[in-house]
């Protein structure tokens, strides 16, 4: 069972109270842990922002935002701007500081080396800087909320997409806030690019003997595809951000029509990054779901190669569909027809994945442990989000639905329920391995059901609101939209209770200390990390594991 039974006394694991262990860390498991803790903190902050948003939208009119301590109470425009800042920062924080650190930095760092039988990442010190750039970046983003943005109003309120002219014009956001945000995203991008280089080098050069590319676990495949997307997409974002920065400060005219520029070109550059980005946010989740469904069905995943290459083709097609985010710019009939067709084609590899998960369960010996509950919830809810995605792919419908709550409902079904559910599924699957302790399954199940009901109550009514024409990014709405907004806000409070239960799970986990053993999931868990002790030794695979051809994935 345990290929690597290093005596704990010879493990050289420093105390968790030793600050040098974390600040100077070159250990992929410690860095992964820091990423996960960072993601939880950022997720709570970004989630609290969405709470203020939902609270504000509980009833028509402006209820609470003029009560924020830094908002001028006598000026209604200050409250409106504060709302726009919250919406902008909620989006950026959840994408760059919650989902990406949790999936790629957290689970990726922890389990890619373990699953391919490597002792650590290829460049451990670069791994350290990848992580420590993130708190710096997050700090800049948070500071940007409190320095002048639009006139004297603090923060940038132009939406997470940072479109010019809102992001460049001195009439709109002339203050330092937007500059801080640009620098913050530059640093977050540098962190992710360094991480991506590290993962690619690790996966291509450090696999254990016998671990061919076609024998790698699907989670490793998903991370490999994701980091390639990062490598190709993030430099384009960096370029667009640099152009914003020089347009703002150094007199270039990339996006200013008065100087011969074109603001629509920013949208092309941004979405050339932005669309692969949404696959970056979900692909590692696909990988985790594959491991979990296989484990709890006690069967190898159905159609392994199809699953791997479905991810590769999703990644490839993800680069040639970007303009479906901007049908309303007026790009002409032929281009719209192309982008509609290309976008719909993504449903094919995605369908392969959904059906292969179902086929993996078919005839399997299924158990409904907590990670499997989250995985099944993910498959169900992600499919709903996928269906509305196919609806929105049509430019004719999208012209009416563009920037309404229908779009908000769509991308929260695939991200807030898709990506976040996979993160929780991965967390419940691997936390016994990472911590060495089992959690309270009742609390985990309760967390799942409360969150499931809460998030559906938040976002399903938003489809109706969108179809009724409620625009996104507005602090107020017509009275006729009050009913479903009220329901949606009720859903938020339920989901917030879910977050509270998650905190209880964490406290219980470390307080009660139930020993997990090397493999708490039984014979279905076949990947290499389950051959190690829980938690794994500080330095693993002193003796190399050898992967035989018949070992399934």
Partner 1 sequence: MSARADPRRMAFTAFLCVAIVAGMTGLAFAAPPLYRAFCKLTGFGGTTQVATAAPSRVLERTIEVRFDTNVDSRLPIRFEPVARTMTLRLGETGLAYFRVANPTDKPVTAVAVFNVAPYKTGAFFQKLSCFCFNDMVIPAGAEVELPVVFFVDPALADDPDTEEVTQITLAYTYYRSLEEAGDALAAAQ
- Interacting residue ranges for partner 1, rule: CB under 8 A: 117-119, 122-123, 170, 193, 196-197, 200-201, 204-209, 211, 231-236, 238-240, 243, 251, 253-254, 257-259, 261-262, 264-265, 268-269, 330-334, 541, 544
Q: Compute the least distance from the CB of residue 430 to partner 1, in Å.
A: 21
Nearer to partner 1, 265 or 487 (CB): 265
Active site residue 294: no
Q: Assess whether 353 carries a catalytic annotation.
A: yes
The one catalytic residue among 80, 90, 173, 207: 90
**Beta-carbon neighbour count of residue 456 at 10 Å?**
19
Interatomic CA distance for residues 255 and 273, integer angstroms: 17
Q: Which residues are 471's β-sheet partners?
A: 404
Residue 198 Cβ vs partner 1, minimum distance, rounded to whole Å = 8
Of the residues 56, 277, 336, 529, only one is catalytic, namely 277
- 3-class DSSP assignment, residue 327: helix
Q: Which residues of 266-297 are buried (b: 16+ CB within 10 A; e: fewer)?
A: bbbbbbbbbbbbbbbbbbbbbbbbbbbbbbbb
d(CA 247, CA 536): 50
Spot the catalytic one: 173, 324, 410, 447: 324
- Cβ–Cβ under 8 Å, residues 462 and 416: no
| 90 belongs to the catalytic site | yes
For residues 272 and 403, what is the distance between their CA atoms, to the nearest angstrom?
Answer: 19
Q: Residue 207 or 325: which CB sits closer to partner 1? A: 207
Helices (H), 252-299: 263-297
Nearer Cβ to partner 1, position 235 or 522?
235
Minimum distance of partner 1 from residue 317's CB (angstroms): 18
* CA separation for the pair 87, 75 (Å, rounded): 19
* Tokens 């937007």 found at: 178
Residue 10 a catalytic site member:
no
- Residue of 453, 484, 452 whose CA lies nearest to 470: 484
Min dist CB 172 to partner 1, Å, is 13
C-alpha dihedral (432, 433, 437, 440), degrees to nearest 10? 0
CB of 183 to partner 1, least distance (A): 17
- DSSP secondary structure code for residue 14 in this structure: P
Cβ 458 to partner 1 shortest distance, Å: 36
186 versus 412: smaller Cβ distance to partner 1: 186
Decide if 533 is catalytic: no
Q: Quick one: CA dihedral 170, 172, 177, 179, positive or negative?
A: negative
Q: Is 130 a catalytic residue?
A: no
Give the nearer residue to partner 1 in terms of CB position, either 166 or 233: 233
Q: By C-beta, is 188 or 409 nearer to partner 1?
A: 188
Write the DSSP string, 192-225: HHHHHHHHHHHHHH-PPTT--GGGS-HHHHHHHH
CA distance 458 to 497: 13
Rounded least distance, CB 64 to partner 1, Å: 34
Is 290 a residue of the active site?
yes
Q: Which of 160, 221, 357, 439 is catalytic?
A: 160
Catalytic residue among 30, 56, 120, 247: 120
Name which of 142 and 231 has its Cβ closer to partner 1: 231
Q: Which is nearer to partner 1, 111 or 541 (CB)?
A: 541
Query: Could you tell me if residue 476 is left (phi over 0), alpha (psi between -120 and 50 degrees) or otherwise beta?
Result: beta
* Residue (327 or 541) nearer to partner 1, CB: 541
350 is catalytic: yes
What values do phi and psi take at 200, rounded to 5? Answer: -60, -45
Catalytic residue, chosen from 215, 299, 353, 412, is 353
Q: Sign of the C-alpha dihedral, residues 214, 215, 217, 223?
A: negative
160 is catalytic: yes
Q: Which position among 33, 50, 167, 192 bears the catalytic label?
A: 192
- The distance of closest approach from Cβ of residue 269 to partner 1 in the complex, given in angstroms and rounded to an integer, is 6
Please provide residue 217's backbone torsions phi and psi, each rounded to the nearest 5 degrees. Answer: -60, 150
Query: What HEC string does 429-443 produce?
Result: HHHHHHHCEECCHHH
How far is C-alpha 440 from the chain's CA centre?
26
Contacts of 63 (CB under 8 A, 6+ apart): 55, 56
Give me the least distance between CB of 494 and partner 1, in Å please. Answer: 43
Q: Which is nearer to partner 1, 239 or 300 (CB)?
A: 239
Beta strands in 62-161 (DSSP E): 148-150, 153-154
Candidate list 35, 279, 405, 428, residue with the active-site label: 279
**Whole-Å CA distances, 75 to 78, 110, 508, 547:** 5, 49, 46, 67
Minimum gap (Å) between residue 272 Cβ and partner 1: 8
- Point out the residues that are catalytic: 90, 120, 160, 191-192, 275, 277, 279, 290, 324-325, 350, 353, 472
């Amino acid at each position: 069972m345990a290929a690597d039974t290093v005596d704990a006394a010879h493990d050289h694991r420093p105390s968790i109270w030793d600050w040098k262990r974390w600040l100077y860390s070159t250990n992929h498991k410690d860095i992964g842990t820091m990423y996960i803790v960072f993601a939880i903190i950022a997720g709570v902050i970004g989630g609290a922002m969405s709470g203020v948003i939902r609270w504000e939208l509980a009833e028509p009119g402006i209820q609470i935002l003029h009560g924020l301590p830094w908002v001028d109470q006598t000026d209604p425009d200050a409250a409106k701007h504060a709302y726009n800042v919250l919406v902008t920062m909620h989006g950026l924080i959840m994408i760059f500081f919650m989902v990406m650190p949790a999936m790629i930095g957290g689970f990726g760092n922890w389990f890619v080396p373990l699953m391919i039988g490597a002792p650590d990442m290829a460049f451990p010190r670069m791994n350290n800087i990848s992580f420590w750039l993130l708190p710096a970046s997050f700090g800049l983003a948070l500071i940007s909320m409190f320095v002048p943005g639009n006139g004297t109003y603090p923060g940038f309120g132009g939406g997470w997409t940072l479109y010019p002219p809102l992001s460049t014009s001195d009439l709109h956001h002339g203050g330092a806030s937007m500059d801080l945000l640009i620098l913050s995203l530059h640093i977050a991008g540098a962190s992710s690019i360094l991480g991506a280089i590290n993962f690619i080098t690790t996966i291509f050069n450090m696999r254990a003997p016998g671990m061919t590319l076609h024998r790698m676990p699907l989670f490793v495949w998903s991370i490999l595809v994701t980091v390639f997307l990062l490598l190709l997409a993030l430099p384009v974002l960096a370029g667009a951000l640099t152009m914003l920065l020089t347009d703002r400060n150094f007199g270039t005219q990339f996006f200013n029509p008065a100087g011969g520029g074109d603001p629509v070109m920013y949208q092309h550059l941004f979405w050339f990054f932005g669309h692969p980005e949404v696959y970056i946010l979900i692909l590692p989740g696909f990988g985790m779901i594959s491991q979990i469904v296989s484990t709890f069905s006690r069967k190898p995943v159905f159609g392994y190669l199809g699953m791997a290459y479905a991810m590769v083709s999703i990644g490839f097609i993800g680069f040639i569909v970007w303009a479906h985010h901007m049908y309303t710019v007026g790009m002409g009939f032929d281009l719209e027809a192309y982008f509609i067709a290309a976008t719909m084609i993504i449903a094919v590899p995605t369908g392969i994945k959904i059906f292969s998960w179902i086929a993996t369960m078919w005839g399997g010996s299924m158990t409904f442990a907590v990670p499997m509950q989250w995985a099944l919830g993910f498959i169900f809810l992600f499919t709903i989000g996928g269906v509305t995605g196919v609806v929105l792919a049509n430019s004719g419908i999208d012209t009416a639905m563009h920037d309404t709550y229908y779009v908000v409902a769509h991308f929260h079904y695939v991200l807030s329920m898709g990506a976040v559910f996979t993160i929780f599924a991965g967390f419940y699957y691997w936390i016994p391995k990472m911590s060495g302790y089992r959690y309270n399954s009742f609390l985990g199940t309760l967390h799942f059901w409360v969150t499931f009901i809460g998030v559906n109550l938040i976002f399903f009514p938003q489809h109706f609101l969108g179809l009724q024409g409620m625009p996104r990014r507005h602090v107020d709405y017509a009275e006729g939209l009050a009913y479903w907004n009220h329901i949606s806000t009720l859903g938020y409070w339920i989901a917030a209770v879910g977050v509270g239960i998650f905190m209880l799970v964490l406290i219980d986990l470390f307080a009660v200390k139930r020993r997990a053993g090397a493999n708490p999931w039984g014979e279905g868990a076949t990947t290499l990390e389950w051959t190690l002790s829980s938690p794994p030794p500080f330095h693993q695979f002193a003796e190399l594991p050898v992967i035989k051809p018949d070992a399934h994935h």
